[in-house]
Structure 1
Amino acid sequence: MTKLTIVELKLLAREPGSMFTILIPLFILVIFGSSISPGDTVLLPMTLAIAVGLVGLYLLPTTLATYRERGILRRLSTTPVRPRSMLVVQLLLQLVLALTACALLLSVAGTVLGAHLPTRVLPVAVTFTLGTAAMFAVGLLIAAVAPNGRTANGVGILLYFPMAFLAGLVQPTHQMPVILARIGEFTPLGAFRQALQDVWAGGSPSPLLLGVMVAYAVVISLAAAKFFRWE
Structure 2
Amino acid sequence: MTKLTTVELKLLTREPGAVFTILIPLFILIVFGSSIGPGDTVLLPMTLAIAVGLVALYQLPTTLAAYRERGILRRLSATPVRPSGLLVVQLILQLVLALVTCGLLLAVAGTVLGAHVPAEIGTAAVVFLLGTAAMFAIGLLIAAVAANGRAANGVGVLLYFPMAYLAGLMQPVDQMPVILANVGEYTPLGAFRQALQEVWAGVSPSPLLLGVMAAYAVIVSLAAARFFRWE
Bin for the TM-score computed over the shorter chain: over 0.9
2:190 is aligned to 190
User: Counterpart of 1:21?
Assistant: 21
Cα distance in 2 between the residues matched to 1:204 and 1:60 = 30
TM-score between both structures, scaled by the size of structure 2: 1.00
Runs (5+) with no aligned partner, structure 1: none
Give the Cα–Cα distance (whole angstroms) in 2 for the partners of residues 122 and 99 of structure 1: 15
Query: What letter corresponds to residue 185 of structure 1 in structure 2?
Result: E
Question: For residues 177 and 194 of structure 1, what CA distance do their matches in structure 2 show?
Answer: 17
Query: Residue type matched to 1:196 in 2?
Result: L
Question: C-alpha separation between the residues in 1 aligned to 2:46 and 2:21?
Answer: 14
**Matching residue of 2:119:** 119
Aligned to 1:134: 134
2:48 aligned partner: 48
What secondary structure is seen at the aligned counterpart in 2 of 1:102? helix
Moved beyond 4 Å, runs of 4+ = none
**What residue identity is the alignment partner of 1:225?**
A
Could you give the per-residue CA deviations for residues 128-174 of structure 1, whole angstroms, max 9, x where no partner exists? 00000000000000000000000000000000000000000000001
Distance (whole Å) between structure 1 residues aligned to residue 62 and residue 214 of structure 2? 24
Tell me how far apart the structure 1 counterparts of residues 102 and 119 of structure 2 sit (CA, whole Å): 16
Structure 1 residue 119, shift from structure 2 partner = 1.0
**Deviation per residue, 1:99-128 (Å, 9 max, x gap):** 000000000000000000001111101100
In structure 2, the partner of 1:76 is 76
SS for the counterpart of 1:204 is: coil
Residue-by-residue CA offset, 1:162-188 (whole Å, 9 max, x unaligned): 000000000000111111101000000
In structure 2, the partner of 1:205 is 205
Partner of 1:9: 9
Q: Within 2, Cα distance between the matches of 1:160 and 1:207?
A: 25
Identical pairs, percent? 81
Q: Which amino acid aligns with 2:27?
A: F
Over aligned residues, Cα RMSD in angstroms? 0.3
Q: 2:178, 2:122 → 1: CA distance?
A: 30
Distance 1:204 1:23 in 2: 30
Count the aligned residue pairs: 231
Alpha-carbon distance in 1 for matches of 2:24, 2:15: 15
Alignment of 1:81-230 (within 5 A): 81-230=81-230
1:194, distance to aligned residue in structure 2 (A): 0.2
* 2-structure distance, mates of 1:34, 1:121: 25
Range with greater deviation from structure 2 (65-74 or 116-125) = 116-125
